[in-house]
Amino acid sequence: MTAALAIEQLLNGLQLGVMLFLMAAGLTLIFGVMGLINLAHGSLYMVGAFACAAVASLTGSFWLGLIASLAAAAAAGAIIEVLVIRRLYSRDHLDQVLATFALILMFSEGTRWVFGSFPLYLNIPSSLQGAVSLPGGAQYPAYRLAVIAAGGLIALGLAALITRTRLGIRIRAGENDREMIGALGVDIRTLYTVVFALGAALAGFAGALVGALQSVQVGMGEPVLILAFVVIVIGGIGSIKGAFLAALLVGVVDTMGRFLLPHLLATVLPPSEAGTIGGSASSMLIYIMMAFILAFRPRGLFAA
């Protein structure tokens, strides 16, 4: 194990954390403002990835595909909020879980019907191909560094939106007392639609960025959704700051755990057993970390 390899894995963890933040930020906004458990958030991640792949294939431009991913995911989010989600706000969480799970099935089958069962692939734009030299002699893909930078900029922009704009004031007010802001003349239905579309756009953007690193396929959002729920539980429901820090923590712990545990166990076990046991143990690390944090901070690290 070299320093260059350790730096590469640390950056991989940061890149995973940034992607989880884009997913978790929308989830925590939606739950904090609306009190809604949205299992279909992973489907919006998938919609963004497919929209980017389709537009990039038609136009040859990855950047137009990114714009399409934002527009398609936001539009899909606004439509399902108006047609389905709006009828669930007064229902209990079990009804919300069942309805949004049905949306997962509908999105998955609809996407399979339109695009087929075979995965699609996105090409990294030529301007971001190649590698960047890092301290220690490490070479790291320029596209992954750009993803980390883009995630950081989006986090700053979202924080500014929440804390320094009139829309942000209404979102924070909606988290605290939605009945009062409705009584003060704020159109609560429009606010809910805007928040849901914003969360959907963030998820779709994350799907498009990851689509250039992996294949774009039906069901790609569900594994990420599970990790996003872990992030918002650790960070504190309703907290953007908590979602960002928890996402980076989960990304680094998950990636470095998968990298380091097999190496550490190899010092006391045969290599084949160390790889098997280390892989299994590393997959549990983030859940062990979540349990440990909740034992001392039951509402998360930065509960709103």
pLDDT value, residue 175: 67
Q: Give a yes or no: residue 132 inside a domain.
A: no
pLDDT value, residue 136: 67
Strand partners, 301: none
pLDDT value, residue 49: 93
Strand partners, 139: 133
Q: Give a yes or no: residue 165 inside a domain.
A: yes
Q: Residue 220: enclosing H or E segment and its boundaries?
A: none
Q: Lowest-pLDDT range, 67-81, 238-252, 260-274? A: 260-274
* pTM tops 0.85: yes
Sign of CA dihedral 78, 83, 89, 92: negative
Q: How confident is the model at residue 32 (pLDDT cuts 50, 70, 90)?
A: confident
Closest among 28, 29, 10, 31 to 249, alpha carbons compared: 10
**Mean pLDDT confidence for 298-304:** 79
Q: Residue 28: enclosing H or E segment and its boundaries?
A: helix 3-34
**Mean pLDDT confidence for 180-203:** 84
Classify 226 as helix, strand or coil.
helix
Backbone φ/ψ region at 300: left (φ over 0), alpha (ψ -120 to 50), beta: left
**DSSP assignment letter at 127:** G
Q: Give a yes or no: residue 31 inside a domain.
A: yes
**Higher per-residue pLDDT: 168 or 275:** 168
Number of domains in the chain: 1
Q: Give a yes or no: residue 148 inside a domain.
A: yes
Q: Give a yes or no: residue 304 inside a domain.
A: no
Q: Quote the domain boundaries for residue 145.
A: 12-116+140-296
**Higher per-residue pLDDT: 207 or 277:** 207
Q: Assess whether pLDDT exceeds 70 at residue 44.
A: yes
Location of structure tokens 């069962």: 117
Q: Which parts of 172-234 are beta strand (E)?
A: none
Question: 131-133 and 139-141 as β-strands: parallel, antiparallel, unpaired?
Answer: antiparallel
Q: Give a yes or no: residue 231 inside a domain.
A: yes
Tell me the pLDDT tens digit for each residue of 257-295. 887 777 777 777 777 777 777 777 777 888 888 999 989
Helices (H), 35-141: 41-59, 62-83, 93-115
Q: Give a yes or no: residue 303 inside a domain.
A: no
Q: Give a yes or no: residue 302 inside a domain.
A: no
Q: In the structure encoding, which two tokens stand for residue 249, read together?
A: 């923590």
Closest among 35, 81, 62 to 121, alpha carbons compared: 62
pLDDT value, residue 75: 95
Q: At what angle do helices 188-211 and 62-83 cross, to 10 degrees?
A: 140
pLDDT value, residue 94: 84
Q: Assess whether pLDDT exceeds 80 at residue 5.
A: no
Average pLDDT, the chain: 85
